[in-house]
């Protein structure tokens, strides 16, 4: 039997309806809408598309949002000053600085300048630390979305062997912490891992976030596993594909997220959720 598809578009739609309703309640009660400030520095075309999509999603659920674009000549101090202003601006519940930043700007310093209670990306060390000790405040949007996808299917996480391939601060590490908190036994693989298939074949839940197109094939997957594919890669023919080879994987998996239409739409949805939660905490 072929794997069931975990549809990120349908799940996103449901969650965004919930977000719209809770937004309307906040707006009615306080007379102000949840607000998100998005900052982009430089001209990276992919980043420009991402930030436009984020701002559009905010409008769709009834948030107030601003998009500030700066040239890549912007000095670090000027960016830090603007973030400090936004930290004190009560109309903005969330602040997001799109990555990557130009090389002359220290991204770590920028992320640490955002007030943790407005860090809707969940990248501040205070939020990373809170997740590490099992008391998450803001969860990074992509792993948060992956957990929502897991929750949406009838598959027990408690006691499962979960394998995360990729150990980035944005996806792999926070994903491992969330799975651990949910009661899974977690293995994190990285680019130095010896005999990767020996790990992936043992996974009841396999999360892949490497940025390497189709690197996980069906023969590396345990029959009946849940496969969450975080990758979004553009092939030479212009088509999008994940880090998992969907065609061979779907023949062995219990369920799988497609690319496109899987984790991608969930990431922006969870950004909206974090911004809403920031506003709810503030009011």
Catalytic residues: 54, 98, 121
Nearest by Cα to 278 from 64, 81, 1, 98: 64
Query: In whole angstroms, what is the distance from residue 23 CA to residue 64 CA?
Result: 11
**Contacts to ligand GUN by CB under 6 A:** 96-99, 121, 141
The least CB distance from residue 215 to ligand GUN, in Å, is: 20
Task: Please give the residue whose beta carbon sits closest to ligand GUN in the complex.
Answer: 99
Question: Cβ closer to ligand GUN: 37 or 227?
Answer: 37
Nearest by Cα to 272 from 102, 56, 46: 56
At 144, list the tokens: 């948060």
Query: In whole angstroms, what is the distance from residue 56 CA to residue 191 CA?
Result: 36
- Give phi and psi for 215, each to the nearest 5: -75, -25
Question: Cβ closer to ligand GUN: 138 or 246?
Answer: 138
Question: Cβ closer to ligand GUN: 57 or 203?
Answer: 57
Question: Cβ closer to ligand GUN: 34 or 264?
Answer: 264
Q: What is the signed CA dihedral for 5, 7, 8, 12, rounded to 10 degrees?
A: -150
Nearest by Cα to 151 from 126, 184, 190: 184
The least CB distance from residue 98 to ligand GUN, in Å, is: 5
Question: Cβ closer to ligand GUN: 35 or 255?
Answer: 35
First to last CA, the chain: 49
User: Are residues 137 and 262 in contact, defined by beta-carbon separation less than 8 angstroms?
Assistant: no
The least CB distance from residue 51 to ligand GUN, in Å, is: 9
Nearest by Cα to 263 from 100, 143, 160: 143
The least CB distance from residue 40 to ligand GUN, in Å, is: 9
User: Are residues 247 and 117 in contact, defined by beta-carbon separation less than 8 angstroms?
Assistant: no
The least CB distance from residue 220 to ligand GUN, in Å, is: 26
């Amino acid at each position: 039997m072929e794997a069931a598809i975990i549809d990120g578009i349908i799940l996103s739609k449901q969650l965004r309806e919930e977000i719209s309703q809770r937004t309307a309640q906040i707006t009615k009660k306080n007379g102000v809408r949840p607000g998100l400030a998005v900052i982009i520095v430089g001209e990276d075309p992919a980043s420009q598309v991402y930030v436009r999509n984020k701002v559009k999603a905010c409008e769709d659920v009834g948030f107030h949002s601003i998009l500030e674009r700066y040239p890549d000549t912007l000095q670090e101090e000027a960016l830090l000053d603007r973030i400090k202003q936004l930290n004190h601006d009560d109309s903005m519940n969330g602040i997001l600085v799109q990555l990557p930043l130009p090389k002359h700007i220290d991204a770590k310093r920028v992320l640490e300048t955002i007030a943790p209670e407005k860090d809707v990306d969940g990248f501040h060390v205070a939020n990373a630390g809170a997740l590490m000790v099992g008391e998450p405040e803001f969860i990074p949007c992509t792993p948060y979305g992956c957990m929502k996808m897991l929750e949406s299917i009838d598959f027990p996480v408690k006691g499962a062997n979960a394998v995360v391939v990729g150990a980035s601060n944005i996806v792999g590490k926070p994903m491992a912490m969330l799975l651990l908190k949910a009661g899974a036994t977690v293995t994190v693989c990285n680019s130095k891992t010896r005999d990767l298939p020996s790990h992936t074949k043992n996974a009841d839940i396999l999360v892949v976030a490497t940025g390497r197109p189709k690197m996980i094939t069906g023969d590396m997957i345990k029959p009946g596993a849940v496969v969450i594919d975080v990758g979004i890669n553009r092939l030479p023919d212009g088509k999008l594909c994940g880090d998992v080879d969907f065609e061979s994987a779907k023949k062995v998996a219990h369920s799988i997220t497609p690319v496109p239409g899987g984790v991608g739409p969930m990431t922006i949805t969870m950004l909206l959720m974090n911004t809403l939660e920031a506003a709810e905490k503030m009011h």
